[in-house]
Amino acid sequence: MSDIPVNANEDNEAKETVSRNFIENEIDKDLKEGNYTSVHTRFPPEPNGYLHIGHAKSILLNYGLAKEYGGKFNLRFDDTNPTKEKTEFVDSIKADVEWLGADYEDRMFFASDYFDQMYEAAVKLIKKGKAFVCDLTADQIREYRGSFDTPGKNSPYRDRSVEENLELFDNMKNGMYKDGEKVLRAKIDMASPNINMRDPVIYRVAHMSHHNTGDKWCIYPMYDFAHPIEDAIEGITHSICTLEFEDHRPLYDWVVRELEYEYPPRQIEFAKLYLTNVVTGKRYIKKLVEEGIVDGWDDPRLVSIAALRRRGFTPESIRMFVELCGISKSNSSVDYAMLEYCIREDLKSKRPRIMAVLDPVKLIIDNYPEDKTEYFEVPNNLENEGLGTRKVAFSRELYIDRDDFMIEPPKKYFRMFPGNEVRLMNAYFAKCVGYETDENGKVTVVHCEYDPETIGGECSTRKVKGTIHWVSAAHSVPAEVRLYENLVDEEKGVYNEEDGSLNLNPDSRKILKDCRIEESVKGAKAYDSFQFVRQGYFCVDVKDSSDDALVFNRIVSLKSSFKL
């Protein structure tokens, strides 16, 4: 989406054309030619699962267009299918759309509220001689339909009279037939090169309760018939959907034309968003949830919107991501690293940078007084002075990260090892003078001596190559930290070629129970995020964290080879 307003002046015209996507170009043309006088879009989820990052693209595209053209945006639950829908999903979808900032105001609708109008529309088609009740079985219908290179055959029921069709359709509605016994079909063209146009089924018998209309109906409209009607009823101008519906567009146009809507909506398709090595697609996410491979729809390893939110992604980062992806007519896959780039960009100057030790080992400063505590005033974010400063406690016993110490370091290792001096970030220079191990040779304590002259970590007479972070043992708080990696094995790809199963990464979640974080983190609430210096961005978990037992999710590490 471009940020350039529609009424940008002539001087900007060249620039404007370059940055506008093809949907904007189509809308511009429609407005110029007077096909429409305003823009009205919708997001039409089926409430059969949680939304994912792909839906975020669709939401932000539709909402963004409505906003850009000063038009309207509807949230419409496409709940015409009585089998799979649940109110749990309706609630989660609303929450996700709102969180993304796509304000639908009071424009929330349910397609099932239009069942009466859809029924009337079907009757209208019958009266026009454009629809007929067919007694062929599902298998026969498929057989009669032909294939890509063979034309279809007319159903023997195709020439029923209008009166007979009206009566039979009424009987269908009144529950006189079993599921599958009869269907209503559009009468279009069995020889059409487009199979979707070969007398498609538009209504079926299904004796099922619907979550909204209960047992009122035992016939339900098919998607290709229902969707254009939903759009037309709501006054949608541009019905934006994904590429797999391109071949259905002639049917969409046929429905709105035959029903003679005064302002027929128009369908425009764009390519779905796919992420490399990431499981998108409601069906697959559902499987992971149901098989217990992840802990629910909001498991932070998923890319459902609920999961991204829980992990610590912000609406701003998702918006940036969607804009960077752009809108296209051909399917392609975007690297997950780009999403990571966006959250880093968003948080980098917004959130405080604090010290956290994820795998602690004790560091004792032998020459520091036992009962002393010093406080260093430290900026919260060097790139954003507005975030102010905080006081960080320093004392004789600290924790440092285990991998910041080595007994026998390789070349180019500049952190703590016996005899080496490093900077304890913001505090002092300290030189390693020894260490203790347990019976297995595991290091339990590192000893060092500090130089009081290097207060603040500054020294004019000598340099050190390594700077490490630390927390004061007595002034830090314990926390659990969860590190995430890709859910699927990147080497092998998402799907197993032989049986289509997922290639799972066994190390997709690592739980660190004994982390220590500087005490400024106390009072952090769900969704609060921080940069832990040298480690990455972390967010307080909404489900499992409490004031006394903090739990953090790693949103993203600091480093990446990703370049824009």
Q: Quick count: other Cβ atoms within 10 Å of Cβ 303?
A: 22
Of 515, 489, 511, nearest in space to 502 by CA: 489
Q: Which two tokens stand for residue 335?
A: 């690297």
**Residue 283 in contact with ligand ATP, rule: CB under 6 A:** yes
Residue 44's Cβ-count burial label (10 Å; 0-12, 13-18, 19+) is: buried
* CB-based closest residue to Mg ion: 46
Tokens representing 81 are 């299918």
Nearer to Mg ion, 46 or 480 (CB): 46
Kindly tell me which of 301 and 554 has the beta carbon lying closer to ligand ATP.
Answer: 301
Using the rule CB under 6 A, is 301 a contact of ligand ATP? no
Which residue from 115, 104, 120 is spatially nearest to 79, judged by alpha carbons? 115
Binding test (CB under 6 A) with ligand ATP, winner from 16, 44, 76, 248: 44
3-state class percentages of the chain: helix first, strand second, coil last, to nearest 5: 30, 25, 45
DSSP track, 459-517: -SS---S-EE--EESTTEEEEEEEEE--SB-TTT-SB-TTT--B-B-TTSEEEEEEEEE
Pairing mode of beta strands 443-451, 332-334: unpaired
Return the number of other C-beta atoms located less than 10 Å from residue 22's C-beta: 12
Instruction: Show Cβ contacts of residue 523 under 8 Å, excluding neighbours closer than 6 positions.
Output: 547
Binding status of residue 281 toward ligand ATP by CB under 6 A: yes
Q: Which of 131/334 has CB closer to ligand ATP?
A: 334
Residue 44 contact partner, candidates Mg ion, ligand ATP, none, CB within 5 to 8 A by sort of partner = ligand ATP
Nearer to Mg ion, 45 or 300 (CB): 45
Query: 306 or 430, CB closer to ligand ATP?
Result: 306
Tell me if 412 contacts ligand ATP by CB under 6 A.
Answer: no
Nearest CB to ligand ATP, comparing residues 155 and 237 = 237
Among 20, 40, 55, 187, binds ligand ATP (CB under 6 A): 55
Question: Residue 113, CB half-sphere, CA atoms under 13 Å: how many?
Answer: 9
Q: Cβ 48 to Mg ion, closest distance in Å?
A: 8
Q: What Cα–Cα distance (Å) separates residue 38 from each residue in 7, 13, 19, 20, 270?
A: 14, 21, 21, 18, 21
Q: Could you tell me if 286 and 311 are in contact, meaning their C-beta atoms sit under 8 angstroms apart?
A: no
State the nearest-atom distance from the C-beta of 235 to ligand ATP, in Å.
Answer: 18
- If one asks whether residue 57 binds ligand ATP (CB under 6 A), the answer comes out as yes
- List the helix and strand counts (H, then E) for the chain: 13, 27
| Shortest separation between residue 45's beta carbon and Mg ion, angstroms | 8
The stretch near ligand ATP (CB under 6 A) out of 24-32, 281-289, 332-340, 458-466 is 281-289
* Half-sphere exposure in the Cβ direction for 145 (13 Å, CA): 18
The interface partner of residue 276, options being Mg ion, ligand ATP, none and the CB cut-off 5 to 8 Å by kind, is: none
Q: Which does 280 bind (CB under 5 to 8 A by kind): Mg ion, ligand ATP, none?
A: ligand ATP
Residues 6+ apart with CB under 8 A from 97: 43, 51, 59, 75, 104
282 lines the binding site for ligand ATP (CB under 6 A): yes
Write out the DSSP string of 341-375.
HHHHHHHTTTS-EE-EESSEEEEEETTS-TT-EEE
DSSP codes, 176-201: -S-TTT-EEEE---TT-SSGGGSS-E
DSSP class of 148: S
Is there binding between residue 276 and ligand ATP (CB under 6 A)?
no
Which of Mg ion, ligand ATP, none does residue 241 bind (CB under 5 to 8 Å by kind)?
ligand ATP
Which residues are bridge partners to 274 per DSSP? Answer: 333
**Min separation Cβ 280 and ligand ATP, Å:** 6
The whole-angstrom separation of Cα 508 and Cα 511 is 10
User: Cβ of residue 268: shortest distance to Mg ion, in angstroms?
Assistant: 17
Which residue lies nearer to Mg ion by CB, 56 or 555? 56
The binding site for Mg ion (CB under 5 A) comprises 46
Phi, psi of 536 (to 5 degrees): 150, -165
Closer CB to ligand ATP, residue 124 or residue 211? 211
The answer to whether 54 contacts ligand ATP (rule: CB under 6 A) is yes
Span near ligand ATP by CB under 6 A; candidates 278-286, 418-426, 495-503, 549-557: 278-286
In this chain, which of 45, 264, 315, 360 binds ligand ATP, going by CB under 6 A?
45
Examine residue 322 and tell whether it contacts ligand ATP (CB under 6 A): no
Query: If contact means CB under 5 to 8 A according to the sort of partner, which of Mg ion, ligand ATP, none does residue 273 touch?
Result: ligand ATP
Q: Name the one range near ligand ATP by CB under 6 A: 40-48, 252-260, 376-384, 479-487.
A: 40-48
Chain position whose Cβ is nearest to ligand ATP: 54
Residue closer to ligand ATP (CB basis): 45 or 200? 45
Instruction: Write the CB contacts of 148 (distance below 8 Å, at least 6 apart in sequence).
Output: 195
* Smallest separation (angstroms) from ligand ATP to the CB of 562: 21
Closer of 61 and 363 to Mg ion (Cβ): 61
Exactly one of 26, 28, 30, 46 binds ligand ATP (CB under 6 A); that residue is 46
- Interface with ligand ATP: number of residues (CB under 6 A): 15
Q: How large is the greatest C-alpha to C-alpha distance in the chain, in angstroms?
A: 102
How far is the C-alpha of 499 from the C-alpha of 506, rounded, in Å? Answer: 19
Least Å distance, CB 56 to ligand ATP, is: 8
| Rounded least distance, CB 360 to ligand ATP, Å | 42
509 binding ligand ATP? (CB under 6 A) = no
Candidates 27, 218, 241, 294; binder of ligand ATP (CB under 6 A) is 241
Binding-site ranges for ligand ATP (CB under 6 A):
44-46, 54-55, 57-58, 241-242, 272-273, 280-283
